[in-house]
Amino acid sequence: MNSLQTWLPNHRKLLRHLLTESRNVLSYVEIWKVSLHQIEGHFGTGIRSYFNFLRFLVIMNLCTFLLIAAFVVAPVITSERLREARQTANAVALSTNDTCTHYNPERKGLVSFYDYILDVLSATGLLELSYLFYGFYQTLDIQLQTSTYNLALA
């Protein structure tokens, strides 16, 4: 009992010290802390609160990007690679003519520069076949070894 009585205060002191050190580290990691402090000094707290809101929006966009990359883009890329590997392993020749079902968004002939700008702004053309295009993803279930991953619910 005596060793327990001496261990508990030392343990609490160590946890308290660890907590204060972790708070100090997190204060250094805070995005734009020094810049926001300078802005507050020059323009006041109202402008700083606006930039705090912008910082919050940037962090939310980063979190959304990470979630979409982890739960949508990565499973689609890996399932396509696995599907291609299975198709080459099986080496099944298709007897149907798939030229009618193949969509090629690449323009032929003389294309003006502003058409490429319109493609980027309206997400058409080559962007339709990229992972950044929302309509690119199919609502298929990705078959894993022991379970399935429903991409439509991701």
For the stretch 117-133, pLDDT in tens is 887 787 777 777 777 66
Concatenating the DSSP letter of every residue in 75-124 gives HHHHHHHHHHHHHHHHTPPP-S-TTTT-------S---HHHHHHHHHHT-
> Are 130 and 136 contacting, i.e. CB atoms less than 8 angstroms apart?
yes
3-state helix, strand, coil split of the chain in percent (to 5) is 70, 5, 25
State pTM to two decimals.
Answer: 0.58
**What token pair was written down for 58?**
């940037």
144: nearest Cα among 84, 72, 78: 78
Q: Domain span at residue 118?
A: 60-153
Establish if 54 belongs to a structural domain. Answer: no
pLDDT of residue 48: 93
Fill in the amino acid letter for 103.
Y
Number of domains the chain contains: 1
Give the SS3 label for residue 125.
Answer: helix
Q: What tens digit of pLDDT does each residue of 33-88 get?
A: 888 999 999 999 999 999 999 999 999 999 999 998 898 888 888 877 777 776 66
